[in-house]
Amino acid sequence: MLGFLPGPLRGVIALLLYTGNTVGGFLTLLPFVILKTLIPHEGIRHFLTRILTAIAWIWIYINSLILRITQDIAWDVEGVDGFDSTASYLVLSNHRSWADILVLQHVWKRRIPFLKFFLKRQLIWVPLLGIAWWALDFPFMKRYSKQFLEKHPELKGKDLETTRKYCEKFKKSPISVINFVEGTRFDEKKRQYQNSPYQHLLKPRAGGVATVLSAMGDNLEAIIDVTLVYPENKAPLPFWDFLKGKIPRVVMRAERMEIPREFVRPGAETDPEFRQRFQDWLNALWDEKDRQIAEILQKYAQAKE
């Protein structure tokens, strides 16, 4: 709708609208966040979380409206129908840009339950959003380097313990747990640094996903494998480019996958043999995703010729 405006002006307007929605949403959340902080009763806290989630849904719907007003995106989306908004899912996705979150929320609203994603611990300090994510029980993960764990072996497995704790909370109501399996946004420098065997992806990290499946696999309806591609853009994709309308096309492919029952075994993620089998399964999934991204990019490259 605002495509006639210069990119920087459109970006400023989009930023102001998203910021206004976030501030308004946060102020609406705040009284319930305070109550949740002060009241120790689990039943009441769970009820407050449901209220907070309802407010967060309104925030998502308004963000979708802002996206429609400020962006002229051509959507190529397949495989997102036929899911149950009252069932729980584990969503596995590649990660290309900060815009991924808005895109995923926009596409999946009304189709599956509220998306909760794993966050780096330091993101709790993001103004307004950090407190909102905490109040909504988003899982904050603190990852340690191999070198750090060698010096502090007592912290080994701490991230998996945190994942288990959140999974117990997630069992109480329908939820979509989304995991950006690469752990960070893709770009070519990171791919080369990792010596990734994939052309369009970073290496998948199995720990968090394996823990979710082993801890709450019996409560999940299915896995949703999501592939995100912005065929007109090269990674990395700055969020400012998205706001300016510089991401003209979004391609999303989704596939429902049955949960391998061999991976639904409480505590199994600490077993080295289990972790290796799961990593092999995830690597095979990533092989297919890499091929799919290559095909999508080739399709749109040929269309431009």
Instruction: Assess whether pLDDT exceeds 80 at residue 139.
Output: no
Q: Which of the four pLDDT bands, split at 50, 70 and 90, describes residue 15?
A: very high
Q: Extract the tokens encoding 245.
A: 């309308």
Per residue in 178-203, pLDDT tens? Answer: 999 998 899 999 999 999 999 999 99
DSSP string, 9-25: HHHHHHHHHHHHHHHHH
Beta carbons within 8 Å of 133's beta carbon, 6+ residues apart: 119, 123, 124, 126, 140
pLDDT given for residue 180 in this prediction: 92
Q: What is the dihedral of CA 253, 254, 255, 261, to 10 degrees?
A: 130
Q: Which of the four pLDDT bands, split at 50, 70 and 90, describes residue 233?
A: very high
Q: Whole-model pTM?
A: 0.88
Nearest to 288 by CA among 253, 244, 264, 239: 253
Q: Extract the tokens encoding 247.
A: 């991401």
State percent of the chain over pLDDT 70: 89
* CA–CA distance, 274 with 263 (Å, rounded to integer): 8
In this predicted structure, which of 127-131, 159-163, 205-209, 278-282 has the lowest mean pLDDT?
159-163
From the CB of residue 239, how many other CB atoms can be counted at a distance below 10 Å?
A: 17
Per residue in 68-114, pLDDT tens? Answer: 999 999 999 999 999 999 999 999 999 999 899 999 999 999 999 99
* CA–CA distance, 244 with 237 (Å, rounded to integer): 12
Nearest to 113 by CA among 40, 227, 220: 220
